[in-house]
Amino acid sequence: MGALEMDIRFLQGVGPKRAALLGSELEIHTVGDLIRLYPFRYIDRSTIHPIASVRPDMAYVQILAAVTEVRLTGGGRMKRLSVIVEDGSGQMEIIFFKGLKWIAEKLEKGRTFIFFGKASLYNGRINMVHPEVDAAPAPGSSQVSAAGNLTGVYTSTEKLKNAGITGKVMNRLMDAALGLALPEIQESLPDYLIREKGLVPLRFALRQIHFPSSQDSLAKATARLKFEELFYLQLALLKQKYVRSRNENGIPMPRVGEAFHKCYDNLPFGLTGAQKRVIKEIRGDMTGGRQMNRLLQGDVGSGKTMVAVLTALIAVGNGFQACIMAPTEVLARQHFDNVSRYLGPTGVNAALLTGSTGSAARREIHAGLLDGSVGIIIGTHALLEDDVKFRALGLAIIDEQHRFGVEQRSRLWSKGAGGRVPHVLVMTATPIPRTLAMTLYGDLDVSVIDEMPPGRKPVKTIQASEGKRQAVYKFMKDQIALGRQAFVVYPLIFESEKLDLQNLEKGYEDITEAFPFPPYKVAIVHGKQSNEEKNFNMAAFVAGRADILVSTTVIEVGVDVPNASVMVIESAERFGLSQLHQLRGRVGRGSDAAFCILMKGIKVSKESQKRIDLMCSTEDGFEMAEADMKMRGPGDLEGTQQSGLPIALNIASLAHDGMILSEARSCAADILDKDPDLSSAENAVLLKELRKDKYNVRDYSRIS
């Protein structure tokens, strides 16, 4: 067995107890695991701070000071060692709670040491708790610390620290691990790639990432390791995509068909350039002989429905049926109304199937699906039921993917014509940053509608605090007087449904008080209502029978009320950016000016304020998604149905390494183009790497 596979327990300085902790806390079981734990930052130990300049908000500081007093205080568990040190610029108290005897002996009065740690403020004075202590450098020596200048800092936990695995110990373990393992490390990228990209060799990178000899070599090591990580991620994803496109035949749909043309020629408007491009991409898939597996991204209002209709008509034109599935009844009905309007000139028959479809109508629809007289079926989860059978289902369109589970989707796939998986188009209005889409959906085809239909009015977004509430109400009244409608949305606080409801009910009371009936009509929708009640209230607002809709975020997805011109978001600081953006997208759909008012609570964190400011400064969903990812990291992006990535990234960041990612992806694509099976000798190393467990990319981005 090689050093890389060696149990971490046997590494010098570890032992069974620490090994168990390294395993449970950091998933480090072998020496090989250890050397792949990279520092998350580096401390520049070349600088000595005068005590007088030390502030509690500095990260880590290093002082060079003489011990003037050593005092043991307290008793029992409160026992501690207080050491006063002095460097000419000032004095500082240094406190130890553990290892008191040993430290007291070491810190001889009058001697000078280097203390390295985090300064904190206690009783109005700056002190340092449990710093690392090093001997002072010999006079005239240029190196201030025996540890070298750039010192890696590793993730740690309370338990690890308690077991004595301090930063310093970690550095020592790492040194020992590298000593054993480096000679065994084999280059993991092909030679030609290393040359082409000007990368440093793996061994050099691994040594330098832990013990950089300079900023420059640290940068080279980092670049190499990031590239490698993103490259293999993309290679794994793209390889899957290649394999699938070769192996899975799609239901053949060679024609565009008459229905498509009849609809297209009678549209009340011209398609945007982006819609045209996307339809071309979809046509290419469906006529190309392989099964379509495409994600359609487009901001709220970008015109995805139109694309869905034309796509469905391609299927119909080839003798197949299409289904469009929406997450809620209201949305399904809305789709049905829109789709039916476009279908007028085509003669294609559409039907709506939801939970509230009566049994007689249901039987009729079932029959129509079986005999093929229903060409396009639109509905909710009701479409998944076993007794929904098709004559020839060729296409499934799913709106707002993240509302469906994998299992539900596969029930739909099993209904495909001739037992084949239908073509699949998933539509989402959640803008996902490009780098994230490339990774989450790396093996899917992605189409983006990045252009809004003409004539859309921008939504004016403003923020207001409690003091402005009456002015906001006055403004809403003015809009209602103009015949417009308003949304008022309350956040969900997940910890407590009870509180949510109280919050909402209180808001509803406030609103009905400020907007009394008559003349004002206020509807309320929330998660605790029955579906019937929800649909009833929602429908009242959609039809214009209510002026104001008070709700929790249930309206987030899709509802189209062109007459609504005001979106008031209460406690806006509690919402995530993409949610705020989605909510804002509910207005500005008619031709009138629209407004989004972000009401702020009393306590607004810096982060929340940043989100609110960003909302006020841009309407571009992609720009916001990028900014959101930079603020919070890709793992936390809401709306992306998967919060995790296909593989855990160890060093690269989707938020910050977009350039490297693009390069890595195109590099991986070039290689697969030339050598799809990676069977050439020079690519042998690629295959070997891909076989490793971590690149066994989970297939959960796959939508069919």
Q: What does the binding site for Mg ion look like in residue numbers (CB under 5 A)?
A: 558
- Residue 309 found at the interface with ligand ADP (CB under 6 A): no
| Window 264-283: residues binding ligand ADP (CB under 6 A) | 269, 271-272, 275
Given Mg ion, ligand ADP, none, residue 303, with its beta carbon under 5 to 8 Å by kind, binds: ligand ADP
DSSP letter at 249 equals: B
Q: Report the C-alpha gap between 443 and 664 in whole angstroms.
A: 15
The beta strand positions in 198-349, using DSSP E, are 293-298, 321-325
Q: Report the C-alpha gap between 594 and 482 in whole angstroms.
A: 12
Given Mg ion, ligand ADP, none, residue 39, with its beta carbon under 5 to 8 Å by kind, binds: none
Given ligand ADP, Mg ion, none, residue 665, with its beta carbon under 5 to 8 Å by kind, binds: none
Given ligand ADP, Mg ion, none, residue 453, with its beta carbon under 5 to 8 Å by kind, binds: ligand ADP
Q: Report the C-alpha gap between 447 and 450 in whole angstroms.
A: 9
Which of 62, 222, 234, 302 lies at the binding interface for ligand ADP (CB under 6 A)?
302
Q: How many angstroms separate the Cα of 436 from the Cα of each of 274, 523, 667?
A: 21, 38, 18
DSSP 90-123: -EEEEEE-SSHHHHHHHS-TT-EEEEEE-EEEET
Q: Report the C-alpha gap between 658 and 647 in whole angstroms.
A: 17
- Residue 304 found at the interface with ligand ADP (CB under 6 A): yes
- Residue 240 found at the interface with ligand ADP (CB under 6 A): no
Which of 112, 115, 127, 24 lies closest to 67, judged by CA?
Answer: 112
- Residue 301 found at the interface with ligand ADP (CB under 6 A): yes
Instruction: Please identify, using beta-carbon distances, which residue of 234 and 275 lies nearer to ligand ADP.
Output: 275
- Give the gyration radius of the chain's Cα atoms: 31
Sign of the CA dihedral 183, 185, 191, 194? negative
Secondary structure of residue 586 in the 3-state scheme: coil
Bridge partner list, 489:
551, 569
Structure tokens, 450 = 């990045």
- Residue 639 found at the interface with ligand ADP (CB under 6 A): no
Given ligand ADP, Mg ion, none, residue 536, with its beta carbon under 5 to 8 Å by kind, binds: none
- Residue 40 found at the interface with ligand ADP (CB under 6 A): no
Which of 212, 298, 442, 639 lies at the binding interface for ligand ADP (CB under 6 A)?
298
Instruction: Please identify, using beta-carbon distances, which residue of 181 and 459 lies nearer to Mg ion.
Output: 459
Structure tokens, 373 = 């007289």
The interface region with ligand ADP, picked from 140-148, 296-304, 325-333, 459-467 by CB under 6 A, is 296-304
- Residue 300 found at the interface with ligand ADP (CB under 6 A): yes
| Window 402-441: residues binding ligand ADP (CB under 6 A) | 429
Secondary structure of residue 324 in the 3-state scheme: strand
Q: How many angstroms separate the Cα of 400 from the Cα of each of 41, 276, 299, 405, 554?
A: 39, 21, 12, 11, 14
H or E element that contains 350: strand 350-353
**Contact pattern for ligand ADP over residues 654 through 683, marking x by CB under 6 A:** ------------------------------
Q: Report the C-alpha gap between 414 and 409 in whole angstroms.
A: 9
Which of 115, 98, 116 lies closest to 107, judged by CA?
Answer: 115
Tell me the residue number closest to Mg ion, measured at CB: 558
Given ligand ADP, Mg ion, none, residue 150, with its beta carbon under 5 to 8 Å by kind, binds: none
Instruction: Please identify, using beta-carbon distances, which residue of 429 and 489 lies nearer to ligand ADP.
Output: 429
Please list, residue by residue across 20-38, b when 16 or more beta carbons sit within 10 angstroms of its beta carbon and e when fewer do: ebbbebbebbbbbbbbbbb
The least CB distance from residue 397 to ligand ADP, in Å, is 11
- Residue 453 found at the interface with ligand ADP (CB under 6 A): yes
The interface region with ligand ADP, picked from 237-245, 304-312, 324-332, 386-394 by CB under 6 A, is 304-312
Instruction: Please identify, using beta-carbon distances, which residue of 302 and 641 lies nearer to ligand ADP.
Output: 302
Given ligand ADP, Mg ion, none, residue 302, with its beta carbon under 5 to 8 Å by kind, binds: ligand ADP
- Residue 39 found at the interface with ligand ADP (CB under 6 A): no
Instruction: Please identify, using beta-carbon distances, which residue of 8 and 567 lies nearer to ligand ADP.
Output: 567
Given Mg ion, ligand ADP, none, residue 379, with its beta carbon under 5 to 8 Å by kind, binds: none
The least CB distance from residue 163 to ligand ADP, in Å, is 55
Bridge partner list, 93:
84, 127
User: Angle of helix 258-265 relative to helix 304-317, nearest 10 degrees?
Assistant: 150
Which of 117, 152, 212, 303 lies at the binding interface for ligand ADP (CB under 6 A)?
303
The least CB distance from residue 326 to ligand ADP, in Å, is 10
The least CB distance from residue 264 to ligand ADP, in Å, is 11
Instruction: Please identify, using beta-carbon distances, which residue of 181 and 459 lies nearer to ligand ADP.
Output: 459
Instruction: Please identify, using beta-carbon distances, which residue of 18 and 304 lies nearer to ligand ADP.
Output: 304
Instruction: Please identify, using beta-carbon distances, which residue of 105 and 265 lies nearer to ligand ADP.
Output: 265
Please list, residue by residue across 328-341, b when 16 or more beta carbons sit within 10 angstroms of its beta carbon and e when fewer do: bbbbbbbbbebbbe
The interface region with ligand ADP, picked from 182-190, 232-240, 295-303, 546-554 by CB under 6 A, is 295-303
The least CB distance from residue 310 to Mg ion, in Å, is 14
Q: Report the C-alpha gap between 673 and 242 in whole angstroms.
A: 9
Which residues contact ligand ADP by CB under 6 A?
269, 271-272, 275, 298, 300-306, 429, 453, 560
